[in-house]
């Protein structure tokens, strides 16, 4: 559980620092910058559009002022004419045959489309004119105040003034989408600048000079407005300024083109503009679809002398170039942004990598070390920045850690070795103590037995000598009769001999030093060979096969009789162990023990064998399993004799399988 949490805490910061650094590196360029650019562009776009509207509004103002100026000029001209001396002279004459000529001349001079003189009821003083009595401008003039306004003349009214004007006013309507549907096929009315000025008559009567300009198809007028508003280079390359005069919703004078050179006369304004400007009397400032393209447009209503909205004045310029300029700017900004991003992002990423890579490397290294890989290192090249230095420092610390770990392990191993060593030493010491204890017990026992035996043997020797002596006396007394009991005498002799033998052996056991003769160098195999005839009859009797293997080359130092005694002892024991026959194997070979050269003698049988319990006691004096046949002294004496020469004797046995006694004696120098 604790480990899981630990791993979690290791991996999460490494990843999160990567993402955080990437965010820090990329956020400004890929998020904040585009956001700022977006906001700026959106704002700029709005401002730009507002500016276009402001500009078109300004354009409309200029056009409006020009129209006003036309009205003013016309009024002033007519007024000037009305009060001129020439006019007074002409009108003042009794006969007025010159009046039509004068008026026609004046009309041409003033650039008017019509000019006439009306009486105090508004009736033309010259035949063929139009009745002007109902026009507010004329009424005002007859009242003494010159007045000028826009008025709409019907075609009939125009025809009364001049058939040519009526003809010029006629415009065929062109089918226009988005316009308010209509049944009409042509516009025959005329929009005129209508001006009237009072004329003082000599007889004190009232009259008015009425003149005007027909605006229908008055291309000079509209082109002048256009030139004035959209002077050379006032618009960007590719844009086009346009100006139009509407009678109601019909274009009666315009420089908007339908095709290359055909003006869009007779086309109509869209219903939306019409509703806003003509019906509601508002000024329209917006983008509008004009004839065949989008224009930034401004429309304002034109009011006639009755105060009715009879038409519209329009100016506008093609939107496309501005839009294109806008898009070009936008594209430039986007491209610039992309270029900046393309250049800066890889740099930022590399910087971020330079920070999180070493951090991740360090984190991974620590994880690996914790997983047991003490050799794991960041292996970062010595860098000049802080992280690089930290990484190098970490590697250094890990080196120290590994070194400490190695030392600890070494100490641990050494300690283990030492413990094992001490343990085995202790075991060895224990065994030695055990052996020593055993030896001590044995020597105690031997010492006691030696004491007793020496005494007993001595006590026995005397009676035996008495028995032997008396036996000899009895034999000599009996003389020849003795032969009758020769068998009994022989048995007694034998038994006495046996007793003295046992006593001798007892004494020998008790005080072996006293019996030790001189020592000589012998080849053990030879000594054993000399023993064999002594036991030959026993081997035969028990049908025991003898196997010999004499490989020993070294000599040993020992009393010959004693060595024989040991050998015979072991051979006789082996024969006793094989009552039903078997194989007796005698081997000699050179053998080093504890680095000391020596000779080993093995005497092995295939007899009854011994249990471990039995084995533990066979070297004890008087221990025998043979009842009265054995003395139990053979092996203990053999051990003492061999030990006295610096050798050793040991046995291995398996019940039912057989026994092997091994003697080792040091080599004689
Ligand atoms: P003894 O032969 O007089 O009994 P030893 O000291 O020679 O006394 O032997 C002690 C005892 O060791 C024997 O009684 C016998 O039980 C046992 N022993 C010795 N040698 C052998 C052998 N080769 N096989 C089986 N038992 C043996
Ligand atoms: Mg024996």
**What atom in ligand 1 is closest to the CA of residue 573?**
20
- The listed range with the strongest mean pLDDT (35-49, 428-442, 460-474, 652-666) is 652-666
Q: Residue 93: beta bridge partners? A: none
Among protein residues, the one whose CA lies closest to atom 24 of ligand 1: 577
Report whether pLDDT(13) > 80: no
d(CA 432, CA 402): 44
pLDDT of residue 94: 58
pLDDT of residue 567: 92
pLDDT in the model for residue 580: 93
Ligand 1: residue whose CA is nearest its atom 14: 624
Lowest-confidence segment of 263-277, 489-503, 641-655 by average pLDDT: 489-503
Topology (CATH) of 47-318:
Beta-Lactamase (3.30.450)
Q: What is the mean pLDDT of the chain?
A: 87
Question: Where in the chain do CATH 3.30.450.220 domains reside?
Answer: 47-318
Q: What are 353-386's pLDDT values in tens digits? A: 888 888 888 888 899 999 988 888 888 776 667 8
CATH number for the domain whose boundaries are 496-666? 3.30.565.10
Q: Quick one: what percent of the chain has pLDDT higher than 90? A: 46
Ligand 1 site, residue 605, Cβ cutoff 6 A:
yes
Buried b (16+ CB within 10 A) or exposed e, 632-645: ebbbbbbbbbbeeb
CA–CA separation, 665 and 648 (whole Å) = 7
Most confident of 228-237, 471-480, 578-587: 578-587
**Per-residue pLDDT at 130 exceeds 90:** no
In this structure, the number of other CB atoms found within 10 A of the CB of residue 369 comes to: 18
Q: In sequence order, what are the beta bridge partners of 658?
A: 654
**Tokens coding 147:** 């007045």
Name the residue with the closest Cα to ligand 1, atom 13: 624
Average pLDDT score over residue span 440-465: 75
Q: Are the C-beta atoms of residues 366 and 10 closer than 8 Å to each other?
A: yes
pLDDT bracket for residue 605 (50, 70, 90): very high
- The helix, strand and coil proportions of the chain, stated in percent and rounded to the nearest 5, come to 55, 20, 25
Number of other CB atoms surrounding residue 648 within 10 Å: 15
- Give distance in angstroms: CA of 579 to centre of ligand 1: 13
Most confidently modeled of 124-138, 363-377, 621-635? 363-377
Q: Which of 15-19, 251-255, 381-385, 652-656 has the lowest mean pLDDT?
A: 381-385
- pLDDT value for 284: 93
Which pLDDT score, from 0 to 100, does residue 495 have? 87
Q: Tell me the ligand closest to 568's alpha carbon.
A: 2
What residues contact 253, with CB distance under 8 A and at least 6 apart?
Answer: 215, 216, 217, 218, 219, 221, 222, 244, 245, 265
Closest Cα to atom 3 of ligand 1: 630
- Per-residue HEC secondary structure of 69-90 comes to HHHHHHHHHHHHHHCCHHHHHH
639 lines ligand 1 (CB under 6 A): no
Average pLDDT value for residue range 221-237: 85
Any ligand 1 atom below 6 A from CB of 626: yes
Ligand closest to CA 632:
1
Least confident of 41-55, 323-337, 498-512: 498-512
d(CA 269, CA 313): 11
Residue owning the nearest CA to atom 16 of ligand 1: 625
The angle, 0 to 180 degrees and rounded to 10, between the axes of the packed helices 560-577 and 634-644 is 140
**b/e map of 545-582 (b: 16 or more CB within 10 Å)?**
eeeeebebebbbbbbeebbbbbbbbbbbbbbbbbeeeb
Tell me which of 207-221, 255-269, 589-603 is least confident: 255-269
Residues in the chain: 669
Give residue 493 CA to ligand 1 midpoint distance, Å: 27
Ligand (nearest to CA of 605): 1
Closest CA to 339 of 41, 29, 45, 38: 29
Q: Given this model, what pLDDT does residue 557 score?
A: 92
Q: Tell whether the model's pLDDT for residue 18 goes beyond 90.
A: no
Roughly how many angstroms between the first and final C-alpha of the chain, as a whole number? 75
Give SS3 for 360: helix
Q: Is 446 a residue whose pLDDT tops 70?
A: no
Write down the pLDDT at residue 9: 45
Give yes or no for residue 623 CB within 6 A of ligand 1: yes
Give DSSP secondary structure letters for 551-612. -----EEE-HHHHHHHHHHHHHHHHHH-TT-EEEEEEEEE--BTTB-EEEEEEEE-S----H
Residue nearest to atom 17 of ligand 1 (CA): 618
Question: Which residues have C-beta within 8 Å of that of residue 353, sequence separation ≥ 6?
Answer: none
Considering the chain, tell me which residue range(s) the CATH 3.30.565.10 domain(s) occupy. Answer: 496-666
Gyration radius (Cα) of the chain, Å: 77
What is the CA(628)–ligand 2 centre distance, in A?
12
* Confidence check: pLDDT of 514 > 80: no
Q: Could you tell me the distance, in angstroms and rounded to a whole number, from the CA of residue 593 to the centre of ligand 1? A: 26
**Which atom of ligand 1 sits closest to the CA of residue 629?**
3
Helix (H, G, I), strand (E, B) or coil at 321: helix
Neighbours of ion ligand 2 (CB under 5 A): 573, 634
Confidence of residue 609 (pLDDT cuts 50, 70, 90): very high
**Tokens linked to 666:** 């040091």
Q: Is the Cβ atom of 630 under 6 angstroms away from ligand 1?
A: yes
Q: Could you read off the pLDDT of 135-184 as tens digits, one per residue?
A: 999 999 998 899 999 999 999 989 988 889 999 999 999 888 888 999 99
Instruction: Give the position, in ligand 1's atom list, of the atom nearest the Cα of 605.
Output: 23
Q: Which of 205-209, 395-399, 602-606, 625-629 shows the lowest per-residue confidence on average (mean pLDDT)?
A: 625-629
| pLDDT tens digits, one per residue of 494-513 | 888 888 877 877 776 666 66
The more confidently predicted of residues 319 and 382 is 319
What's the pLDDT score for residue 556?
Answer: 95
Q: What are phi and psi of 260, to 5 degrees?
A: -45, -55
Residue 582 near ligand 1, beta carbon < 6 Å = no
Give residue 621 CA to ligand 2 midpoint distance, Å: 11
What is the SS3 assignment for 125-141? CCCCCCCCCCCHHHHHH
């Amino acid at each position: 559980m604790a480990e899981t949490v630990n791993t979690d805490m290791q991996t999460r910061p490494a990843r999160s620092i990567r993402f955080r650094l990437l965010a820090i590196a990329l956020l400004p360029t890929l998020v904040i910058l585009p956001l700022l650019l977006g906001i700026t562009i959106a704002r700029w776009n709005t401002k730009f559009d507002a500016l276009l509207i402001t500009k078109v509004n300004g354009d409309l103002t200029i056009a409006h002022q020009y129209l006003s100026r036309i009205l003013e000029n016309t009024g002033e001209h007519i007024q000037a004419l009305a009060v001129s001396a020439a006019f007074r002279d002409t009108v003042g004459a009794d006969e007025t045959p010159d009046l039509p000529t004068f008026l026609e001349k004046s009309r041409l001079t003033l650039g008017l489309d019509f000019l006439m003189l009306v009486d105090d009821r508004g009736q033309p003083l010259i035949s063929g004119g139009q009745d002007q009595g109902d026009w507010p401008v004329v009424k005002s003039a007859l009242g003494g105040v010159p007045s000028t306004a826009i008025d709409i003349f019907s075609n009939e009214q125009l025809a009364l003034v001049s058939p040519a004007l009526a003809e010029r006013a006629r415009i065929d309507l062109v089918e226009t989408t988005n316009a308010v549907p209509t049944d009409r096929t042509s516009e025959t009315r005329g929009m005129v600048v209508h001006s009237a000025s009072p004329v003082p008559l000599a007889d004190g009567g009232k009259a008015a000079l009425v003149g005007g300009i027909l605006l229908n198809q008055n291309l000079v007028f509209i082109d002048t407005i256009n030139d004035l508003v959209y002077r050379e280079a006032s618009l960007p390359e590719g844009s086009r300024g346009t100006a139009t005069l509407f009678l109601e919703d019909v274009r009666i004078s315009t420089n908007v083109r339908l095709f290359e050179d055909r003006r869009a006369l007779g086309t109509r304004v869209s219903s939306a503009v019409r509703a806003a400007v003509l019906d509601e009397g508002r000024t329209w400032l917006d983008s509008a679809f004009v004839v065949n393209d989008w224009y930034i447009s401004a429309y304002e209503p034109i009011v006639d002398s009755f105060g009715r909205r009879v038409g519209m004045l329009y100016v506008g310029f093609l939107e496309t170039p501005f839009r294109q300029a806008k898009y070009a700017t936008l594209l430039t900004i986007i491209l610039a942004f992309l270029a900046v991003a393309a250049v800066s992002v890889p740099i930022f990423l590399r910087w971020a990598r330079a920070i999180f890579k070493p951090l991740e490397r360090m984190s991974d290294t620590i994880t690996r070390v914790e997983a047991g890989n003490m050799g794991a290192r960041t292996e970062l090249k010595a860098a000049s920045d802080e992280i690089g230095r930290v990484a190098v420092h970490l590697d250094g610390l890990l080196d120290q850690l590994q070194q400490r770990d190695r030392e600890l392990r070494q100490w641990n191993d050494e300690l283990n070795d030492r413990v094992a060593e001490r343990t085995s030493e202790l075991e060895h010491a224990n065994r030695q103590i055990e052996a020593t204890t055993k030896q001590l017990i044995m020597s105690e026992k031997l010492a006691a037995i030696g004491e007793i035996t020496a005494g007993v043997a001595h006590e026995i020797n005397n009676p035996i000598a008495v028995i032997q002596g008396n036996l000899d006396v009895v034999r000599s007394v009996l003389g020849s009769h003795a032969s009758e009991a020769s068998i009994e005498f022989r048995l007694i002799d034998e038994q006495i001999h046996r007793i003295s033998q046992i006593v001798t052996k007892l004494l020998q056991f008790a005080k072996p030093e006293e019996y030790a003769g001189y020592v000589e160098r012998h080849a053990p195999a030879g000594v054993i060979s000399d023993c064999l005839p002594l036991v030959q009859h026993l081997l035969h009797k028990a049908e025991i096969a003898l196997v010999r293997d004499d490989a020993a080359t070294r000599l040993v130092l020992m009393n010959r009789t004693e060595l024989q005694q040991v050998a015979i002892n072991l051979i006789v024991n082996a024969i006793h162990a094989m009552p039903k026959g078997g194989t007796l194997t005698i081997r000699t070979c050179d053998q080093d023990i504890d680095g000391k050269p020596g000779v080993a003698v093995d005497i092995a049988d295939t007899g009854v064998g011994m249990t471990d319990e039995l084995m533990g006691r066979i070297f004890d004096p008087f221990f025998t399993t043979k009842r009265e046949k054995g003395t139990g002294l053979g092996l203990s004496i053999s051990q003492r004799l061999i030990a006295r020469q610096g050798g050793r004797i040991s046995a291995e046995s398996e019940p039912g399988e057989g026994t092997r006694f091994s003697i080792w004696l040091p080599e004689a120098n």
